[in-house]
Chains A and B, each alone.
Chain A
Amino acid sequence: DIQMTQSPSSLSAFVGDRVTITCRASQPINIYLSWYQKKSGQAPKLLIHGASSLVSGVPSRFSGGGSGTDFTLTINGLQPDDFATYYCQQSYSVLYTFGQGTRLDSK
Chain B
Amino acid sequence: QIQLQESGPGLVEPSQTLSLTCTVSGGSIDSGSYYWSWVRQPAGGGLEWIGRVHTSGSTDYKSSLKSRVAISIDTSKNQFSLKVSSVTAADTAVYYCARSTPRGSRYGMDVWGQGTTVSVSS
- A residues near B (Cβ < 8 Å) are 1, 32, 34, 36, 38, 42-46, 48-50, 53, 55, 87, 89, 91-92, 94-101
Contact = CB atoms under 8 A, between A and B. Distances in A.
Nearest to A9: B46
Contacts of B61: 95
B46 A46 contact: no
Interface residues of B, number: 27
A46 B110 contact: yes
B106 A97 contact: no
B108 A43 contact: no
B14 interface: no
8 contacts: A34-B109, A46-B109, A55-B110, A87-B47, A91-B105, A91-B108, A95-B61, A98-B49
Interface in B50-87: 52, 60-64
Contacts of A32: 106-107
Interface of B: 37, 39, 41, 46-49, 52, 60-64, 96, 98, 101, 103, 105-110, 112-115
A96 B107 contact: no
A49 B107 contact: yes
Contacts of A87: 46-47
A44 B105 contact: no
Contacts of B37: 96
Contacts of A42: 114
